[in-house]
Structure 1
Amino acid sequence: MALKDKEKTTFITEVGIFCYRVMPFRKKNTGATKFQLRLNPKKCTFEVTVGKMLGFLITQRGIEIDPGKIEAITAMPPPRREKEVRGFLGKIQYISRFINKLTMTCNPLFKLLRKNERFVWDDAFQNAFEKIKGYLKNPPILMPPRPSVPLILYLTVTKNAMGSLLAQENGEKMEVVVYYISKRMIGYKLNYSPIEKKKERRSLRQYATNYVLLAGKLYRHSFDGQNMLCIDQPQAAEIMEKVHAGTCVLNMNRSALAKKILRFGYYWQNMERECVEYVKKCHQYQVYANLKHTPVSLLYNMTSPWPFSTWGIDIIGKIYHHASNGHEFIFVAIDYFTKWVEAQSYKVLMSSHVAKFIRNNIIARYGVPQALISHNGGHFRGEVLKVLDEYRIEHHKSSPYRPQTNGAVKIRRFPDDACPAAIAAEPGYQRFPDDAPSAATAAEPTY
């Protein structure tokens, strides 16, 4: 970006005026430049001092009510039936954040909404109606909350309602209104004492008991009785950087950073969420964290819907010492539904042997299965794929993380003295090819 164009990217924030060092959002306007596209000056507005958003006016003074909405409310005639009362209260509710003690003022109007209540418009209702309209002739201007500036809460409690005012000091040390809140008490809440009129107020008092002011500094009580210093946002950023970088401890993950800071005696609002976001942006954590980088692979449900529908096949071997006839491998197949086992030993195991086993030991005995599951070994290619294609049998491959058919064949429980691998591994025993079928039969389920 040319130096003379920097001022054209200036934007205003609450903490100052900034400009981009490079073109923001990459070169998003290159297409417009190429095709000679330009903005329509009649549809552009610059140096706007007042903007309308969501029914409110945003000005330099703060947030104001749209005059059109005020005019619509003040021009309303007195309601003549319940539906018109609900319509009036609905319009007022939209701008309730601007009206002080709204629920207390509108309390007479709520009586007209009671079930089986006869609609009679008297002086009490008219006075409440006119009072709201008179208040809107000079509505307050709300200020958006300023970060790192304490909020001030005022509460007003009556028999039937509760009102609160949220304020904040501006740059001239004058209190300005941020928000008005009103709550109507109904049902069992009317039996509360004035101090316990609202559940949220009781919670606020309990929340306040967790803090203490010592030597002009705010501390929060921890569960173990330790006083943790409450810090602001700049201090929090500095502490997160020091603790995570290793000044105090080794570089840690996001779940441990907040806990370590608490043990050091510091606290601020939303610290756990901010610690998580901070660690996510740490380059070293992204490089050295224990993250799984295994490529995505398809997952299959290995639950068989009926007997002999899905078989898992695998190989046991090489086996030392080999048998007297030179056999060193045992090929095993297991049905996922009945856990039935078929096994046979081989001296040399190739895809042609596996294909013959599938034809003779599975298809010829139990019918054509729906699917076979194996790992990605070379024994299950070539002739095997031709057989599967001939009989239209689905071939599912186990995930690379666990290639042994997810342990389906290996997990099948053989008796301790009948496991083919155990028989083959026994010193001096070289007859496991003859006893492998017997071992498989001993492992069959009994019903």
Structure 2
Amino acid sequence: QYNRLPFGVASAPAIFQRKMETMLAGLPGVQVYLDDVLVAEQPGTENLRAVLQRFQDMGVRLRQSKCTFRKSEICYLGHRVDQEGLHPIEKNLDAIRQAPSPTNVSELRAFIGLLTYYHRFLPNMSTLLAPLYELLEKNKVWQWGPRQRDSVEKAKTVLLKSPVLTFFDPSKPLRLECDASPTGVGAVLSHRLGSVDRPIAFRSRSLTSAEKNYSQIEKEALALVFAVTKFRDYLLGRQFVLVTDHQPLVGLLREDRPIPLLASGRIQRWALLLSDFQYKIEFRPGKLNANADALSRLPLPQTEESREEELPEYVFAIQCMDEAFLPARQLKELSAEDRTLTTVKSFVMRGWPKILTKEQHELHPYFCRRQELTVVQDLLYWGQRVVIPGAAQKEMLNLLHEAHQGATAMKRVARTLFWWPGLDGEVERLARLCHNCTQAAPMPPASTPVNWPETGENWARLHIDFAGPIENKMLLVVVDSHTKWIEVCVMRSATTEATIRELREMFSRFGLPRAIVSDNGTQFTSQQFGEFLERNHVEHLKTAPYHPQSNGLAERAVRTVKESLAKLSTGDLEEKLAKVLLSYRRTPLSDGKSPAERLLGFQVRSRVDTAVPSRRVCSPDLQVPTIRPHAAVWYRNFGQGEKWLPGVVESNHGARMTVVSTPGGNVRRHLDQLRLREVKAETSEAPAASGSAVPAPSPRSPADQLARAAAASGSAVPVPSPTSPADQLARAAVPAASAKSPANELYGDATTSSEPEDSCVPFQLRRSTRTRKPIDRLQL
């Protein structure tokens, strides 16, 4: 990455200019053009010091050999600037004076470009160079004659005697003088200093072939519009005087007059444009308006006869049809040759019959409009629209479609100018059959979305797509259309082999689907992928090319995964993906069931569930009693020696796990690996067995031991059937109705289980009068 702006970058000059202007912004009397900085100051001001201080603050270094100070005049951008104003550089004028006459179009363009650089010094440039511009017209044969040579010499002379341009001062009054000639328009912006006008800049241009046909009032109005447009930056928001030598414009475009409603549409548009400016229009005769672009015009003698000829010509232009398409004379000739229009004009002039005959069926469209048809100057009109004969209809359609507008736009234009039967249909047909319009037409409106058919079963139709690259890895996203379950596989590369491998592993967990929907990616359209699905009898449905909306379920799943991953800032991709999938699969959908409940049949447990106590109710039959601490038991020995050894219960871990204290330390045993031990019997036998090992328990069953313990206490306990030690302990823990048995002293009640409170809510009886009794079993 570059640390400095390198050479060769196309936008480097603009970037450098913007940086320089930003650096020196706000400093008075400073003008910047790339690396050329002009600083103007008057005695008592310190503009130069402020500029140097700004450079020092910004870390800019200046080369002293390229800096000049305290100059009364300088050459800047091809001009000589002094206290009087702006002058062309003498050496450039010498180059123009010594330039040879052009010999071809390329040299002529170069010469005109050289003069154009000093266009602000040439008050009559468009008129002086008119013979030269004629040689630049298309298909114009090169012919250098006396008119061209005189034009070049006059341009050189005018440039060498060019006036000095004064500086623009917003505090001084502004005058904008405009004028028009048969070949061009021009303007001069000047300051009124006393009784002298000092020019600021000149502007001029040649008229186009269409503009040369404007009336004189329109040419003069065009000069005003051209002038205010070119000097917009000087004039906008300031009061100025607009000078013209055309008297009618003063009353027509006066600043206190509204928009002229009876003028032509072109004049009205220009009046709206001029309304943006604050001007006062002033009339100045042409002989006194020599400074207004000094356009060389050749005025015709203003005789009474010439004024009489001007008015009918102007009125005729208002009454006649617009000749932008076909000349009126040609339309008259074609209308006279058209048999249908000739008959219609005859009926319009002489009267329509009450009923048309069968031979006159082609006149039915005109018969329906017979009250609105007129004949003006041998042309048939329907209202304000001229009726086009059949021979000219094709040409009119081609002219109408010249800019390749749409059918609606063409019909709007046609409805203001002309008509013939079936015009709208032909316009629409032309727009449909145009090859260029078809190629450039936008996409049609999107059709109404249609959902995929509901499968009604889990894992029947899968929608798959790739997402990424995300952290230099690709994600294969698979979503079930019925349950909305999402599977995401992290892959290093999105190849066909890797895709098949991930799908095979996925199918081993959830089974084979009936169909898979994918786009037209190379991974899914390859022969290998098709054979894989065919072997597993899975239908492959591919969407339309470049239409991701067809696989909207997969696209929405990809969006969900990508947005969720973007919101997680910590962890690697696999860790973040696990969080996203667990959270998504746990979230209920619109029907209240989560994707996990739909597919797996149960709700998966997330970290949110661990923070909320469970409301699950445990049945009393499932509650297992625990042995009370300090109870004497026999525990199973899995090491060498006897299988059963004595011990004392130290504590309980859960419902079935017990810690037993032994002479060799604490051991953990399951409830099935414990037997109750009779303490009294072991105490009476201890002296006889002094110095010997602890005797092994008698081969009696745990049920016999419990019975003997109950007999010693004087309570009757039924002898249980020979079942597992856990069941024996459970039955021994059932409390008697009258008194406590030894078993109850050793075992806790069912409600004193050490199971965590958040995993089971104690069972409560629904009826307070119910009496619970121990199970009465057959005693054998």
TM class by smaller structure: 0.3 to 0.5
TM-score (norm 2): 0.28
Choose 1 or 2 for highest CA Rg. 2
More relative contact order, 1 or 2 (CA 8 Å, 6+ apart): 1
- Normalised to the residue count of structure 1, the TM-score between the two structures is 0.46
